[in-house]
Chain A
Amino acid sequence: MSVFIRHYNPGSVYNAKIWRFASTTAETPKLTNGEDDEEFRVLDILKKRDKLQRRAPRKADVPPDRAEKMRTDQKWGDVWPGPKSFHPSSVPLPIRQGYVPKGQAPPGKKANAELMKIPNFLHLTPPVIKSQCEAIKKFCTEWPKLLNSEEAIEKHYPLEIITSDYCHASPVIRNPLSRIVILRIKLSDLKLDKHARDKFLRLVGDRYDGQTDLVTITADRCPVRRQNLDYVNYLLTACYHESWNYEDWEGDKTLQDMEYYDFDMNQSKRNLVNWHLLCLNEENNFSDEEIKLYDVASIPNATEYIESVSSLFNDGESDATLKKYDTSVRKLLGLPDKKIVT
């Protein structure tokens, strides 16, 4: 390889230089092997690939399983302290899992994904639970001795508040359902007179269950449980005090407006009292109000009669109510029992 450099100065002699580079490979005559020249190159159509030498994967030195070295008297809680997926080398149990055709053994514990899937309770062995209970015992307080039965609890704490806490797998701990608050109270625990009880039941509507005598008020309209709790308490208080209120128009209710049969307000009571006084040969000049307030407990067998008459009107005519009415009237009037002639 060479470089021709022309250095030209005007008015002087033309000057040119040729540099010659010394190179080791560029211009040395190619050395060829005599043998290569003589042999033709073979055209390999079905070229077989030179086998690449595969690097053998390094075998890692895997120590023997931890389970094999475990002592029999070790503390299992230290080996498996918390919830963890199954790991075969630290569980010294010959576990197998998997469905196989009959006659085969199910897959063993190593490389068994099924065992890793199922939730295990290896961290909650009985001794561990016992020790954990011992540890948290110091935070517990004693149960009050007087509240030793359900009845005692009901008597001292008649109001029942039911809320739910939800535990779910999610980055947020909030669950909208936990806002719902249910208040339950026995109607007999509320101090209500006849009028107030009737009004309370009307206000409460279908929230009262006659069979269990429970009033259930549910609130879920507010976003937070605290607000719902306040609202439920407010509802109960408002209903209670409203039921004790006596409005002016409530006095206008007449016998025709009654939605149920009230014995004290009806003609039957007057008849009963009149008949009773007639039997006793007493003077009978009671006004309507006096008859209403007349205590029928003094009349023998009257309570049963009143009950049967009320049920006949309130529950409707049926074989049972009619039979009851029949026996109670016979008892009241001192007539002999009905003899069934066959």
Chain B
Amino acid sequence: MNSIIKYAQCSSLSQWSPVFASQFHTSSALSRVVSGKYRITKKRDRPLTYEMANPPHFIAHRKSWNSWNTSSLKDGLRRSETAVEDEFIRRFLNGTWHGLVCSEVIIKRQFNHIRVAAIVRRAVSPTKMYFLIGYTEELLSNWIQCPVTLELQTVDSYKDVVFKYI
């Protein structure tokens, strides 16, 4: 390395420029958007819900938001807190209702009231489901210090929410 620097110091830049030019490769940016999109499988058997079937740029056109609150408006308050809480609620719900939640978890906030909506499979008995509803509401409202309401819709199986296969 030292020898290169010494060589560069003793020689003029014009001698170096062709070397640098040949070592730098530039190409145009590949603006390929991949996130939130699903690949087509060979057998065309990947089930997609309506939410998954529409990529993110269709939000507000073909599908709407999963979080409804005033923090995302201009000059909204508690932006980061709201985002973190929403993510926490989503993870908690997906873990508590493990393998049961068939759709995205929809979180709507009104004043200090948080309403969580989801579509759930009827794989467990109604008794367990009632317990889980109470458990989720109680724990979440204790953590977030807000009244939390679960508004669930049940379906027979995952196939009910499938919009198309790709």
Contact = CB atoms under 8 A, between A and B. Distances in A.
Given A117-B68, A168-B76, A57 B104 contact: no
A64 to B, nearest CB: 14
Contacts of B153: 87-88, 110-111, 116
B117 A116 contact: yes
Interface residues of B, number: 47
A107 B78 contact: no
Given A58-B125, A88-B153, A168-B76, A112 B146 contact: no
B51 A113 contact: yes
Contacts of B112: 169-173
A172 B112 CA distance: 7
Contacts of B104: 113
Contacts of A303: none
A110 B160 contact: yes
Given A98-B50, A113-B50, A117-B68, A85 B108 contact: yes
A170 B145 contact: no
Interface of B: 49-51, 54, 58, 61-66, 68-71, 75-78, 82, 102-104, 106, 108-112, 115, 117, 119, 122-123, 125-126, 144-146, 151, 153-156, 160-161, 163
23 contacts: A60-B126, A62-B154, A62-B156, A84-B115, A84-B151, A85-B106, A99-B58, A99-B62, A107-B50, A111-B103, A113-B51, A116-B119, A116-B153, A117-B64, A117-B65, A117-B66, A168-B71, A168-B76, A169-B112, A170-B78, A170-B82, A171-B146, A172-B112
Given A85-B117, A173-B112, 5 more contacts: A83-B110, A107-B50, A111-B160, A114-B63, A171-B144
- Identify the 9 closest CB pairs spanning chains A and B, nearest first: A169-B109, A168-B70, A99-B62, A85-B151, A85-B117, A113-B103, A171-B112, A169-B69, A111-B160
